[in-house]
Chain A
Amino acid sequence: MNPNDRKLVRRLKRRDESAFTELVGTYQHKVFNVIYRILGSKAEAEEVSQEVFIAIFKYIDSFRGEAKLSTWIYRIATNHARNRVKYLARRSQRKHQDLDEGPETANADSPLSAYIASPHEEAVGSELEKIIGEGLKSLNEIHRTIVVLRDIEGLSYTEISEIVELPEGTVKSRLFRARVALKEYVESRYTEKVVPL
């Protein structure tokens, strides 16, 4: 843990409100983005992200600094998101979620268009982005979490291994399986829509 994080944790343990504001300010977007990508719903992501920060303050006294502060925060965030996925699956609410919400919708300014040249291909890029978002939702919660942490957040295998509490080899094999499943999902969707990939 770096000295700045150590100082911040000490202030958090003293229940210093400015430390709280600093921590939420630093991590709010990262936590929100990870949870949003795992859950696929902004409303759910907002609710769960707030719960994550409450949990961080509740359990800050138990943080001993063995891992990086960011790793500990990611662990709490992904655990909350995974629990919410299971809870939503149990209640079968996922099918009622608003599929039109969020960045999966067609967007000409999408970063995916960087991969795309022509207007036709741009439309295909936005379509791909939407289908990838849906494909993520089709993965189970651990595969989804690993894909989000690796391919969206760009974390190392070591960090992911600490976050999801699985050996690095298992993380690698699950990431591979998740990518293949995602590829198959995308290809099946493109076949349905008769859109060339």
Chain B
Amino acid sequence: MSEAENINEEMSEQDLLFNDFLEGDLSPEDHAAFERRLEDDEAFKKEYERFFSIVGGLRALPFTFAPDDFVGQVQTRIRKRSRGRFFTDNYLLTSRIPYEVVGLVMILVMLSAYFMMASPHDKKMKDLNLVPKLQSPEKT
């Protein structure tokens, strides 16, 4: 193994150690030894600070908020995509009435109209439906 490869290997192992320390994955003994080395070894401490600056930098990135009208934008998009049928409150107002139901209603309307027209409305004209009784010729 070349010297450069050795250095890389060592760096990688050191980074792994830093990572385990940050994640709390070291045993109590290793953790204590790590802290002692941080105090005693300046180069080691510097390397750790470089590694920590990345993780610390990530943790310190500012939180980015959604735009103020975000909820409204999503609602508009959902209504548009579902043609207003998504939410229950709007369903009956905006949903399409099935043709089968329209057909059935029309048939019922026509049937009731037929029966209404077929039956006499004038009570006095009820007798018209009765066959008049003819008087027998013997009596006359």
Contact = CB atoms under 8 A, between A and B. Distances in A.
Nearest to A49: B66
Interface stretch (B31-39, B53-61, B132-140): B53-61
Interface in B16-72: 16, 19, 23, 50-51, 53-67, 70-71
Given A132-B61, A152-B59, A50 B73 contact: yes
Given A103-B64, A176-B16, A132 B81 contact: no
A54 B66 contact: no
A32 B65 contact: yes
Interface in A1-55: 14-17, 20-21, 24-25, 28-29, 31-33, 36-37, 42, 45-46, 49-50, 53-54
A103 B62 contact: yes
- 6 shortest A-B CB distances, which residue pairs? A32-B66, A151-B58, A28-B66, A17-B87, A103-B62, A15-B88
Interface of B: 12, 15-16, 19, 23, 50-51, 53-67, 70-71, 73-75, 77-78, 81, 86-89, 91
Interface of A: 14-17, 20-21, 24-25, 28-29, 31-33, 36-37, 42, 45-46, 49-50, 53-54, 57, 102-103, 107, 110-112, 114-115, 128-129, 132-133, 136, 147, 151-152, 154, 172, 175-176, 179-180, 182-183, 186-187, 197
